[in-house]
Amino acid sequence: QVQLVQSGAEVKKPGASVKVSCKASGYTFTGYTGYDMHWVRQAPGQGPEWMGWVNPNSGATNQAQKFLGRVTMTRDTSISTAYMELSRLTSDDTAVYYCARERRGPGGELNGMDVWGQGTTVTVS
């Protein structure tokens, strides 16, 4: 079945960096339409916050303004895995980080984030 499996929980010191992985299975990671891989985080008791996406085919990325210069999104097509690295961590970065696949319809239109990873808890303390 289609699934995204993320790396395990992390505890980091302020100022450090964290890299979270997201391994895709059950579908073609670099299919002709592609499924952009998004990263979304959710702080305790808060709503989801979009961070950006990486296109598995081209490697192109787009990040939310808030994270520009601090987040790096990459992928390794040989192992169908996407990565999100966040640097200069502060306590405000304590959150559950999710990867999520955004689906495209036959005409290329976006159809929502239909598959999500299980989440990776990052604690900055």
Partner 1 sequence: DIQMTQFPSTLSASVGDRVTITCRASQSISRWLAWYQQKSGKAPKLLIYKASSSESGVPSRFSGSGSGTEFTLTISSLQPDDFATYYCQQYNSGRTFGQGTKVEIK
Name the 3-class secondary structure at 70: coil
Q: Indicate the residue among 16 and 49 with the shorter CB distance to partner 1.
A: 49
| Site for partner 1 contains 67 (CB under 8 A) | no
CA distances from 84 to 45, 62, 69, 106 (A): 22, 12, 13, 28
Q: Which of 3, 49, 61, 85 binds partner 1 (CB under 8 A)?
A: 49
By beta-carbon proximity to partner 1, the closer residue of 45 and 125 is 45
CB of residue 30 vs partner 1: minimum separation in angstroms? Answer: 21
One-letter amino acid for residue 63 of the chain: Q
Between the CA of residue 99 and those of 14, 16, 51, 54, 123, what are the distances in Å? 23, 21, 10, 10, 17
Residues in contact with partner 1, counted by CB under 8 A, come to a total of: 23
The verdict on 107 binding partner 1 (CB under 8 A) reads no
Residue 125 in contact with partner 1, rule: CB under 8 A: no
**Which long-range contacts does 102-111 make (Cβ < 8 Å, 24+ apart)?**
102/35, 102/36, 102/37, 102/38, 102/53, 103/35, 104/33, 104/34, 104/35, 108/33
Report the residue from 17, 33, 77, 114 that binds partner 1 according to the rule CB under 8 A.
114
Residue 81 or 120: the one with the smaller Cβ distance to partner 1 is: 120
Positions that interact with partner 1 (CB under 8 A): 38, 40, 46-50, 62, 64-65, 98, 100, 102, 109-114, 116-119
